[in-house]
């Protein structure tokens, strides 16, 4: 089939499978990567802010943060300006896990796009970015 919607769906499914397998090999999930990446990029944040930055639903953020905290990858502490809110901080172990996950993600990108040249990869990213921007003008 040469329908773009079908090709995009099939490629997305393959990408999701490769990524899930790579993260599972490190005993992690996509939510772990997204939350650790946000903490690495922006620093400590409230749970609500992390949810907005990562696009993860509030209840899923709490569950994923509980898992990360149980593993010693993040710490929660009361916000000094609002004791009802927690501030989440990445630990040294969390930073190390993020680096491992980031390396795994790079490997998945290479595996998924192996048949494309660097120029073709850039072109694919540019085209998909345009399509996505058209449908999500924010």
CATH number where 97 lies: 1.10.10.10
pLDDT(138) > 90: no
What is the average pLDDT value for the chain, to the nearest integer?
95
Please state whether the predicted TM-score (pTM) of the whole model is above 0.75.
yes
Give me the percent of the chain exceeding a pLDDT of 90. Answer: 89
In angstroms, the CA 75 to CA 93 distance is 11
Mean of pLDDT values over 115-126: 97
What pLDDT is recorded for position 84? 83
- Enumerate long-range contacts of 24-30, CB under 8 Å, 24 or more apart: 25/104, 26/97, 26/100, 26/101, 26/104, 28/97, 28/101, 29/64
- Is 122 contained in some domain? no
- Is 129 contained in some domain? no
Name the residue range of residue 88's domain: 16-107
Give me the percent of the chain exceeding a pLDDT of 70. Answer: 99
What pLDDT is recorded for position 2? 86
């Amino acid at each position: 089939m040469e329908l773009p919607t079908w090709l995009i769906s099939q490629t997305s499914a393959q990408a999701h499978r490769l990524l899930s397998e790579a993260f599972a090999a490190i005993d992690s999930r996509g939510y772990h990567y997204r939350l650790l990446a946000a903490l690495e990029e922006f620093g400590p944040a409230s749970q609500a802010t992390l949810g907005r930055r990562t696009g993860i639903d509030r209840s899923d953020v709490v569950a994923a943060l509980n898992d990360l905290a149980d593993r010693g990858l993040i710490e929660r502490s009361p916000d000094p300006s609002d004791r009802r809110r927690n501030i989440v901080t990445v630990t040294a172990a969390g930073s190390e896990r993020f680096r491992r996950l980031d390396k795994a993600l790079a490997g998945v990108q290479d595996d998924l796009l192996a048949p494309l040249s660097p120029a073709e990869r850039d072109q694919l990213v540019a085209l998909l970015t345009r399509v996505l921007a058209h449908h999500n003008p924010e």
